Amino acid sequence: METNHSKSGGNPVSGACMAVLRGEIELLDKIPPLQSLVRDAVINREWGEYELYLESIGKIGADFEFLEAERDRLFSQLAPDEGGSEKPRFYAISVRLPEGERNELTDLYRNLKMRALQIRLANDTLMEYIKETRNAISGMLESAYPDRKGKIYSRDGVEREADMKSVVLNHSF
């Protein structure tokens, strides 16, 4: 039976690392529901809610950055000073720990990386949706107004370069 070294007198630094990793995982677990709300707000063109959800994700990101800096600090304490300027690699550090601590720490680290990857994929999917929607609307506007051919005019009637930023359409269309 494997014992939990972090709770039973193991290396206090590795125990602190595990606590930080758990905190990071807990923060990352809050993001997917917010990503879903962001996606729905974009699809339904609810820009006020969209801003609120992005603000919430930003706060989680700030908390995560704080924990990430703490984790880096703790990892560097676990790594012996080898005189190099490179940041110590996680698995090179973990291999020096007792087996029980190493297993728990690597499981948490792997879990953290998987959650981060899932969040990144969801973000990439949403960004691709937004890009394709913008391209479709641009194509539709070019078809509807072929004489403009992507030209944009200022309020004064002066032609300016098309800036292909997001276009917001009213529900009345």
DSSP class per residue in 105-128: HHHHHHHHHHHHHHHHHHHHHHHH
DSSP letters spanning 65-88: HHHHHHHHHHHHHHS---S-SSPP
Q: What token pair was written down for 23? A: 């905190």
Q: Domain segments of the chain: what residues?
A: 12-160
**pLDDT tens digit sequence for 8-56:** 456 788 889 899 999 999 999 999 999 999 989 888 888 889 899 989 9
pLDDT category of residue 130 using cuts at 50, 70 and 90? confident
pLDDT at residue 94 in the model: 79
Average pLDDT of the chain is: 79
Query: Residue for token digits 């994700």?
Result: 57
pLDDT at 163 over 60: no
